[in-house]
Structure 1
Amino acid sequence: MNVEMEERTPRPEKIVVVGLGYIGLPTAAALAVGGHVVVGVDLNEATVESVARGQVPFVEPDLQETLAQAISLGRLTTSTTIPPADVYILAVPTPYLEDHTADLSYVEAASRQVAAACRGGELVILESTCPPGATQFVADVFSETRPDLAVNNENSSSAMQFVHCPERVLPGRIMIEIKTNARIIGGLTTSAAERAKRIYESFCSGPIRLTDAKTAEMAKLVENSFRDVNIAFANELSLICETLKINVWELIELANQHPRVNILQPGPGVGGHCIAVDPWFIVASDPINSNLIRTAREVNDRKPAFVVQQLMNAVEEKAVPVVAILGLAFKANIDDLRESPAVEILRRALDVVPGIEFYVAEPHISTLPHDLVNEGRVELVETAVALDKSNIVVALVDHDEFQMISTDDLSGKTLIDSKGIFNNLVPAV
């Protein structure tokens, strides 16, 4: 596979990847193995040093092996400053502000730093998920920062070029999907998109479609909004079933027997830096015509409060309530806590049920978030310890480890199951 990737590289480029997080680091490693000379840049010195040693600073299957190969080939180095290069890939955060509009401050800061290092003719690829118009915003920042550089001039070989190429990977499967998933490349010019296509062909085996930048930006938002709307349907069903005293997991299983029905599974909410964020960018771009997308986002955002209310009801039934929290990550089998509904639920619970001890089982992290540690009532422990010490168990993430819990482990405890993992438990052998 690696030999094939190198053979597909028409001309090695010097590429700088700005941001060594969950998307930037896998991209940098894949590009280096694909034949390019890559410098990974991050402001976090600990991250830069860790990657330089070949150590992945977060949990992602198969990334360690690819990173080690990239470094052993001598094609991936790291830095806290941005050097001259042929291509720059921006993979920095794009959170939303209080009014749900996109916070492009990280993109702007990275763009200004890259612009300072440019000499003319470089390609800038925006991978960060952004609202429509963000790639043009980057080009405008370059024009403002470096008015001496030509921008998006098809007839000039020294003109700066800009494209958007959104990532489409699932945490836990990034190193598979970064190579096999189809990619969309939207350019501010046709030549920019075609140049970017040649770069992604060095490690992507999936089809690569070219379009304009605004359509590419919108495509990523639409993909995640589609998921959000469908999850909202499942979450709303779970609320209705609670009122009607119906097992939502059985209901969905039965409904999905229909050949044209495929209802997703409900949960405690929606997390991560994609599905929980991107729909708001569409709503902000056209608030008049995005009613369904807005409503779905509101349904999913209300789900953590529902779980907290379930916990409060359970607490009232116990003389001395002690709570086990199963999972903090935003999805199964990863360590990513960004926008995690599980973290939000625990934070809210600490406010509304004072004086109660919480034992958290999260097998993919070694330390709790700082604000939870400061509460003094939360302890990160092994799953068995959390179950042993508690009389209320709240399942928030369906990690594989939690699927091994037996009915004996839960005997006599009040169960709040937001993921349906207790539906098919078996007695201990």
Structure 2
Amino acid sequence: MPREFQKIIVMGLGYIGLPTASMLATKGHTVVGVDVNENAVNTINSGRIHIIEPDLDILVRSAVNSGNLRASLVPEQGDTFIIAVPTPFKPEGDNPKAPDLSYVEAATRAIVPFLQEGNLIILESTSPVGTTEFIERIVVEMRPELGGKVYAAHCPERVLPGHILRELVDNDRIIGGTSKAAVAKAKELYKTFCSGAILETDSRTAELSKLVENSFRDVNIAFANELSLICDRLGINVWETIALANRHPRVNILQPGPGVGGHCIAVDPWFIVSSAPETARLIRTAREVNDHKPHWVIERVKAKAERFKRPVIVCMGLTFKANIDDMRESPSLEIAQDLLAADIGIVKACDPNVEPGKSPVPLVDIRTALQEADILVLLVDHAEFIEIDRELIKDKVVIDTRGIWR
């Protein structure tokens, strides 16, 4: 094997792990992707994918057919170990939004028996400050002889679902190590597929930088969402208000919606709040504004439902953003499920990107939705919804949280 090529073990084959593993494999590295989901492992080994992302199927098929990518339920020895597992919430004391590092810890403990001197561990999972150092402590706890002989770095993913493959290559990349040697080793690997700038720092700064990126977005979305509440109270069109304000050369207000979803923007700010609860006041308030928005939408639907005996309510969209199948932390899904539980009518959902077996709410196609619905709740601006003829919804009660049918 040429010196520049490595054997890489990728822990977690989800929206980040699988594209990263496939990209590395197509660049000549030998990659073993590890996941606890046996169906995902079998699917990938057959050259297919278990998630929806444009062109990912082509990349995975190419990587598997080349012999450079295979999936497994268990790790093995390698040169570099990439951890790309979820970092969700868990209740802890008075904090219902404490970071849950159990997946990171489990992945780390799984690879430690296979580590050798000189190996590199890369944490790609978005994590609270200090997580990379936490990984190092686990390694030394389990294998004291490896203390100071294994390298650790944090290289947070910075990609947008729906554009992951392009952004994996084009976006600038932050690499933060617990040592300069770790940064150098990680940089050498990422240069094999990343054309963006490689930005070097320490692991704690890298961890906070990723959290700050998404918190910045969250705060700006919260401003737009709060404007929508104010405009509703005052009887003013929020979309027109924002459009007019944005004509100022130094104003760029984002668009409001039903809330904020996805594993990044809806989660990362809480990691900062947990790390510095007394000082992260603006970040906490923005999270509370965005977390409240789904409940505001639900109350609007309930108010409209009162005029019917038992209305058919169709939620248009379940994913957290347009034109993808990802429902992680989705406010649209939360709204649909809460309306279903409230039993104020017959609640269904319509989402062309979600498979029926993956939806906790009964799914209907667009034609059925438009025929049967008394109340249409537009939650996600999927391309298929934008194209709907407005004549077909003129007799419906419409609650449009995205402003595409106004």
TM-score by length of 1: 0.92
Deviations 1:187-237 (A, max 9, x none): 000011111001001110000011000000000000000000000000000
Q: CA deviation at 1:324?
A: 1.2
Q: CA deviation at 1:359?
A: 2.4
Deviations 1:113-158 (A, max 9, x none): 100111222100000000110000000011111112133xxxxxxx
- The residue identity in structure 1 corresponding to 2:39 is A
User: Which range moves more in the overlay, 232-241 or 319-328?
Assistant: 319-328
For residues 256 and 229 of structure 1, what CA distance do their matches in structure 2 show? 17
Deviations 1:342-365 (A, max 9, x none): 1111121123234x2122111011
Residue number in structure 1 paired with 2:71: 78
**Cα pair distance change 1:10/1:404, threshold 3 Å:** farther
Asked whether 1:109 is paired with 2:82, we answer no
Residue number in structure 1 paired with 2:235: 245
Aligned counterpart for 1:311 among listed residues 301, 311, 325: 301
Q: CA deviation at 1:367?
A: 1.8
Residue number in structure 2 paired with 1:61: 54
Asked whether 1:404 is paired with 2:387, we answer yes
Q: CA deviation at 1:10?
A: 6.6
Q: Gaps (5+ residues) in structure 1?
A: 1-8, 152-158, 373-377, 424-429
For residues 318 and 67 of structure 1, what CA distance do their matches in structure 2 show? 50
Count of residues paired in the alignment:
401
Residue number in structure 1 paired with 2:38: 45
Q: CA deviation at 1:64?
A: 1.1
Q: CA deviation at 1:19?
A: 0.2
- Conservation of the 8 A alpha-carbon contact between 2:32 and 2:71: yes
- Conservation of the 8 A alpha-carbon contact between 1:312 and 1:353: no
- Conservation of the 8 A alpha-carbon contact between 2:336 and 2:349: no
Q: CA deviation at 1:369?
A: 4.4
Q: CA deviation at 1:67?
A: 1.1
- The residue identity in structure 1 corresponding to 2:195 is S
Deviations 1:44-70 (A, max 9, x none): 110001011111111100111111111
Helix, strand or coil at the partner of 2:146 = coil
Q: Gaps (5+ residues) in structure 2?
A: none
User: Which range moves more in the overlay, 409-418 or 298-307?
Assistant: 409-418
Residue number in structure 2 paired with 1:427: none
Aligned counterpart for 2:403 among listed residues 390, 401, 420: 420
Aligned counterpart for 1:12 among listed residues 5, 12, 27: 5
- The residue identity in structure 1 corresponding to 2:133 is Q
Residue number in structure 2 paired with 1:233: 223
Please tell me the root mean square deviation across aligned C-alpha atoms, in Å: 1.2
For residues 236 and 276 of structure 1, what CA distance do their matches in structure 2 show? 16
Asked whether 1:358 is paired with 2:372, we answer no
- The residue identity in structure 2 corresponding to 1:417 is D
Q: Which aligned pairs between 1:20-419 and structure 2 lie closer than 5 A?
A: 20-98=13-91, 99=95, 100-151=97-148, 159-354=149-344, 356-369=345-358, 372=360, 378-419=361-402
- Conservation of the 8 A alpha-carbon contact between 2:26 and 2:62: yes
- Conservation of the 8 A alpha-carbon contact between 1:368 and 1:380: no
- Conservation of the 8 A alpha-carbon contact between 2:379 and 2:401: yes
- The residue identity in structure 1 corresponding to 2:398 is L
- Conservation of the 8 A alpha-carbon contact between 1:10 and 1:198: no
For residues 351 and 23 of structure 1, what CA distance do their matches in structure 2 show? 33
- Conservation of the 8 A alpha-carbon contact between 2:47 and 2:65: no
- Conservation of the 8 A alpha-carbon contact between 1:18 and 1:88: yes
For residues 111 and 335 of structure 2, what CA distance do their matches in structure 1 show? 39
- Conservation of the 8 A alpha-carbon contact between 1:35 and 1:202: no
* Stretches (4+) displaced over 3 A: none
- The residue identity in structure 2 corresponding to 1:288 is E
- The residue identity in structure 2 corresponding to 1:31 is L
- Conservation of the 8 A alpha-carbon contact between 2:116 and 2:150: no
- Conservation of the 8 A alpha-carbon contact between 1:89 and 1:125: yes
For residues 109 and 41 of structure 1, what CA distance do their matches in structure 2 show? 12
